[in-house]
Amino acid sequence: IIQKVLIQNIGRSKKKLKLNEEKQYIPRNKSRIMFLKFKKNKIAIIGLVIISILIFTGIFADFIAPQSYREQNLPLKNQSPSSNFWFGTDEFGRCIFSRIVYGARISLKVAIISTGISVLIGIIIGSISAYYGGFLDQILVVLMDVMWAFPTILLSLVIVAIIGASLNSVIIAIALSYWVQYARLIRGQILSLKNELYIEVTRSLGANDSTILWKHLLPNAIIPVVVAATLGMGSAIVLEATF
């Protein structure tokens, strides 16, 4: 009887130990850790669902829109919402819901491309300015200050007036108007990191400037820029609506 009791206790202890080990297990893969944190964040999941719906709507606008967004039907102007026109019609008899769906496609295109270009320009200029410093840094900082002094809307309108009115012109104008904030942000991050001990060790091991900058500094400085870029997409959509 004593032997059976001991065997049962040993078995229970092993099970408890195994459960404790599973609870204490921390995955080493960074992407896995990020995924687990993301799963626990309900607000992030809701945001992802909303963004996914908007992107899906923009991509498949041709299949989602019940009517043509261009077709005018004056006898049906200013109609209230119905089964044929979900959001009603405007003063020209066009389906408002269809125009919103197609408008989402254009807005997403402008926001993603213009923000991507401005982030790329800002990262390149800000990184070079912060890493090399000296006279080059002074020139680039003056350039940033000059660009930053102009109102964003005014600068965008001037650029569109110079290169011509089109969707591509709007994208270029927004990109050239917003890159400064990303450049200043990445510059500040790299200035705070470039004298860290791990950078000095990397430099002493013979790593060249491009390796230190793009492989060791930028990955650790990029997170605030990504956050700013997600907020900047909303600003880009608002600015695009003014043209």
Domain ranges of the chain: 1-40, 41-240
Spatial separation of the C-alpha atoms in residues 102 and 105, rounded to whole Å: 5
For 127, the token pair is 């990184």
**Average pLDDT over every residue of 82-111:** 86
Tens digit of each residue's pLDDT (9 = 90 or more) over 163-221: 888 889 999 999 999 999 999 999 999 988 888 888 888 888 888 888 888 888 888 88
For 79, the token pair is 């109609």
**Average pLDDT over every residue of 102-114:** 89
Identify which has the larger pLDDT, 34 or 61: 61
For 229, the token pair is 């870029």
**Average pLDDT over every residue of 213-242:** 88
What's residue 209's pLDDT?
83
Average pLDDT over the chain reads 82
Q: What percent of the chain has pLDDT over 90?
A: 21
Beta-carbon contacts of residue 204 (< 8 Å; ≥ 6 apart): none
DSSP annotation of 89 reads B
CATH 3.40.1190.10 matches 41-240: no
Distances in whole angstroms, Cα of residue 225 to Cα of each of 4, 30, 176: 63, 19, 16
Confidence of residue 89 (pLDDT cuts 50, 70, 90): confident
What's residue 11's pLDDT?
53
